[in-house]
Structure 1
């Protein structure tokens, strides 16, 4: 896990440094250009990247991450990409070359890496890629998968509303909404106060 995270960090930092140099020289770099040059001219020079048991997809996703970081920066949604440091937010992403990766239970077979155990059970599903990250001394797995949901059918597309006095509202479907009880209570109280005021006024007129 540490080797994979180290290769991902090295690739990302190489891409960021090369991007800066090309930009300063008046060029407009992108993740596709950097990835192609890295695979053809840089990667062959480092045997430790091609060691047995190392998934070669991690360099691809490192450039994807770098490209996304610059996209957020240019759109004003994030700051300028920073170089990664060892031991801080170590992570890497792998896939199975477009094939689905089955997950579920407390064991998962990662591409090239092999079987690993998890502390908690994973949902039984399939995914296209997984991201492994380290927090403190523990490694965590993250992935996306589809969940089937039941949609609620609408009985009608449009409903008309008729506001009234007796009923608060009547829908074109026949559903009615009565007036709030608080309104009826206020009317009754107002009637009692009105009668009491009338009696009081009448008594005052008789006494005068």
Structure 2
């Protein structure tokens, strides 16, 4: 996001190449971070029952007073591993009270120990990069980076995390606008707007007639996912509380199968994230004004027939990426109200078709006789909505612009199709 004095806050995530000693240290730090968070949450609940209000700073002070006697092992890792969780707990409660006013319940939960996942925070004053290829971790030493840090600027913090069998360092930095421009593609300067209709069959339909498909990695790898989950369940491990009390431990084969399953989950997540990053960056670079619909995604996920397909395309993450990237490039996103009838409104005469059903893929207008692809019609309405809100005359989308956009899509290996009136002609770039 943009900050004052022409500075930009940005994150850069780099894979680490740790040895066994470093892996053990990271897992110990994950455990200390989890301990501090759970201790703070338990204490907050205890004081709440007694009618006592304690701030996160008071809880942190209380933890620091007893950690030397009760938890001496926390001194083996960075001090931030047990300090930052209290700030995170404060943010969690702030979110809970904010959501409560809107009728939502998001009470903070205790963190569980997970074999292949975890994270902890290191403050910027303890972060040292050596020779552009090593990260000096407090209380550990140098850990090799998979690649060099791309940006020159101030490092505010680093978060060490694990996902499946890989470890990462996420650098939070402040850089100048010039430094940002060196490492990102130039934004196309125009005054064009676009309407975007989100869907499952075609991930997005643009008001210029293009539709873009999502890779849907969960759907493609679902059979392998089920197979590995079944294999994991058959390995020796405690399946009930009684077996846990009996001391049944996880076998080595269980741990190996667990890593294989986690790696597959990670692969699915990475494919989806790669697609969403490429697509959101492409749209932000090519359009000044973006019209979107405000979808009730949580409500949509309650439909058990569509929940899996909706999760596979990740509408929320796509909108989140568009939102923060628009700040970097000074673009504007105009979101239509949740009940705006973008699909039911005729993009030509503006009449509303109340009896439109989900299975009706072609929009037939009884008033003016227009016959048009349903999603394309919705994207046009979202574009017109954005234009009305802006109150400016938008530049025409020319064949040259379309050629440049198609070329950009082809470079990123994004599958597109061109929509005609009521007919879809497929072309794979």
Whether the 8 Å CA contact 2:127–2:136 is kept in 1: the answer is: no
2:146 and 2:28 map into 1 onto residues whose CA distance is: 21
CA RMSD of aligned residues (A): 2.7
Q: What TM-score results when the alignment is normalised by the length of structure 1? A: 0.63
Give 1:6-21 correspondences, 5 Å limit: 6-21=31-46
Q: What is the match of residue 60 of structure 1?
A: 83
Whether the 8 Å CA contact 1:92–1:131 is kept in 2: the answer is: yes
1:99 Cα offset (Å):
6.2
Structure 1 residue corresponding to 2:53, chosen from 15, 28, 31? 28
Question: Which structure has the larger Rg?
Answer: 1
Which 5+ residue runs of structure 2 have no aligned equivalent? 1-25, 182-395, 397-429
Is residue 130 of structure 1 aligned with residue 158 of structure 2?
yes
Whether the 8 Å CA contact 2:117–2:164 is kept in 1: the answer is: no
2:80 and 2:163 map into 1 onto residues whose CA distance is: 22
1:105 Cα offset (Å):
3.5
Q: What is the match of residue 143 of structure 2?
A: 116
1:44 Cα offset (Å):
3.0
Give 1:34-73 correspondences, 5 Å limit: 34-51=59-76, 54-73=77-96
1:129 and 1:13 map into 2 onto residues whose CA distance is: 23
1:143 and 1:41 map into 2 onto residues whose CA distance is: 31
Q: What TM-score results when the alignment is normalised by the length of structure 2? A: 0.32
Return closer, same or farther for 1:4/1:144 CA change in 2, 3 Å cut-off: same
1:74 Cα offset (Å):
1.3
Give 1:68-87 correspondences, 5 Å limit: 68-76=91-99, 79-87=106-114
2:150 and 2:131 map into 1 onto residues whose CA distance is: 5
Structure 1 residue corresponding to 2:167, chosen from 139, 142, 145? 139
Is residue 90 of structure 1 aligned with residue 118 of structure 2?
yes
Aligned length, in residue pairs? 150
* Greater fraction of residues in strand: 1
1:47 and 1:145 map into 2 onto residues whose CA distance is: 32
2:131 and 2:89 map into 1 onto residues whose CA distance is: 30
Which 5+ residue runs of structure 1 have no aligned equivalent? 152-179, 181-208
1:100-141 Cα shifts (integer Å, max 9, x gaps): 644784321123332111223322434122101111111111
1:153-199 Cα shifts (integer Å, max 9, x gaps): xxxxxxxxxxxxxxxxxxxxxxxxxxx9xxxxxxxxxxxxxxxxxxx
Q: What is the match of residue 159 of structure 1?
A: none
Q: What is the match of residue 27 of structure 2?
A: 2
1:41 Cα offset (Å):
2.1
Whether the 8 Å CA contact 2:127–2:135 is kept in 1: the answer is: no
2:139 and 2:151 map into 1 onto residues whose CA distance is: 21
1:100 and 1:40 map into 2 onto residues whose CA distance is: 26
Whether the 8 Å CA contact 1:55–1:113 is kept in 2: the answer is: no
More contact order relative to length (CA 8 Å, sep ≥ 6): 2
2:172 and 2:130 map into 1 onto residues whose CA distance is: 11
